[in-house]
A and B are shown apart, each in its own frame.
Chain A
Amino acid sequence: MNASALINLFLFPGLLFAVPAGWFFVWGEHKAVARMQRRIGPPLLQPFYEFVKLLGKRTPSRHGIEADLLRIYPALSVLSLLGALALLPVFPASLSFSGDGILLVALLELPSICFILAGFTSGSIYGEIGAIREAVLSVANNLVFLLAIVTLAVTRDTFRLADLAGPTWNPGHWIGVLGILLCIPAKLRLNPFSTSSAEQEIYSGPLTEYAGAALGLWKLAHGLEWVALTGLVAALVLPLGGPWWQHTLLFVAVSFVQVLLLSAIAAATARFTLERAIRFYWRWAAILAALAVLSAIYMRFRA
């Protein structure tokens, strides 16, 4: 293990940067939605206060394997997202190995799987309904997400993240980025794809039975998901080079612009039914993504 990997994991874009950034992005989303509804919105430290408050709550006593599993799922989500963040190719000299793009996709998917399993393990009917919805939606949006990643990989002829980072003139790259952007609202469970945690229908979905520190970890994982997914897009579109502080600031700025954009979509749309959300991904987005992959392969053979 070398120093660069440790810096990626613990300093930037890992733990020390990602946790405050996650709270900041969650605040940004709430504040942006509030401003669009002509409200004032929460204070800056709100997500942090909420996390500390949840650490101080007494949780229901549970025993047996379910109790352990319910504790493991949120911790596993946080850890896998920290791993995904460490892999993000923010700097040109960042540590990268062949095929780390595939590892990144797997690590980004793990929290969603944990979310589904948590719903089923909790034994609550609302948790189960939420878990089913999340599972179906995850299958739908991952088709497009994976095709977008494949388009990027075919365009550059590699799965190595350091080679995928940065913009090119190739249209395949931009179509791939657009595909990832289309999937982010579903991966973050934002409107119009918030069916799995629809609070007016099924309380909090899979998290209904969660309380205290475990719930705090889920909220932290959600913040990290924001940083990881918007950070992935930022790393793909930002030109490499320039002094490190300038690049870091640009990285945060591009990520935050996406937060505002996604909040605007969330504030302007109502929740899709599950069927409609699937139709969106399988019918429209998947056709576009398949065409993108085919055209990328065709252009490679022509070149």
Chain B
Amino acid sequence: MSILTQLMHKSRSKSPSLFHLNTGSCNGCDIELVTCLSPRYDVEQLGIHLEGSPRHADILCVTGPVTRNTLEAVKTVYAQVCEPKAVVALGSCPASCNVFAGSPVIEGPLSKHIPVDVYVPGCPPHPDAIINGIARAAQILADRGVRPESKGEAQK
């Protein structure tokens, strides 16, 4: 690896920007994600920060079981996050639809619609687990770079 590649690898793993997307979550996981920013957990010391626009983000944090209303939003926001990107599914809902499985208005699990890199199970997951998941996603992001299947297509 050349020095420039190493520098890019390090920079990607050291400054992941998050975009938080709620796809019909009960707010439990959302509250736990926000807790990670609070003084007790303080993810900023790992360089992790929450961004307002998906264009600025590297990691998409999805909570909720993907309801029918939010499906289009999930696809749009995923396309708006620029490569290289990673997806973290927070909580049991995006992983398995949890107690909502089988409901006619649920389109989950999340992996049916977009590729998921890290699952953080729990209802809701502990903030430590969320931080661990995000740190792993940042590592995956840095190791992989631009996703091989999206190398040819233009960014939307």
Encode B38-75 as 1/0 by CB contact (under 8 A) with A: 01001011010001110110100000000000000000
Q: Are A57 and B82 in contact (CB under 8 A)?
A: yes
Interface of A is mostly: loop
B99 within 8 A of A: no
With the chains together, A42 CA to B52 CA distance in Å? 19
Given the interface pairs A53-B58, A56-B12, A58-B82, the reply to whether A204 lies near B53 with Cβ below 8 Å is: yes
Which of chain B's residues have a CB closer than 8 A to the CB of A157? none
Which of chain A's residues have a CB closer than 8 A to the CB of B82? 57-60, 211-212
Q: Are A42 and B12 in contact (CB under 8 A)?
A: no
Which of chain A's residues have a CB closer than 8 A to the CB of B10? 49
Interface size on A, residues (CB 8 A): 35
CB distance from B85 to the nearest CB of A (A): 9
A61 within 8 A of B: yes
Which of chain B's residues have a CB closer than 8 A to the CB of A208? 52-53, 55
Q: Are B47 and A49 in contact (CB under 8 A)?
A: yes
B156 within 8 A of A: yes
Nearest chain-A residue to B9 (Cβ)? A56
Q: Are B155 and A58 in contact (CB under 8 A)?
A: yes
Nearest chain-B residue to A33 (Cβ)? B44
Which of chain A's residues have a CB closer than 8 A to the CB of B111? none
Which of chain A's residues have a CB closer than 8 A to the CB of B145? 56
Given the interface pairs A41-B44, A58-B155, the reply to whether A203 lies near B15 with Cβ below 8 Å is: no
**Which B13-48 residues sit within 8 Å CB-CB of chain A?**
14-15, 39, 42, 44-45, 47
Nearest chain-B residue to A50 (Cβ)? B15
In-complex Cβ contact of B45 among A39, A58, A126, A212 (8 A): A39
Which of chain A's residues have a CB closer than 8 A to the CB of B15? 46, 49-50, 53
Encode B118-156 as 1/0 by CB contact (under 8 A) with A: 000000000000000000000000000110000000111
Which of chain B's residues have a CB closer than 8 A to the CB of A58? 82-84, 146, 155
B7 within 8 A of A: yes
> Interface on A for B, CB 8 Å cutoff?
30, 34, 37-43, 45-46, 48-50, 52-53, 55-61, 126, 199-200, 203-204, 207-212, 215
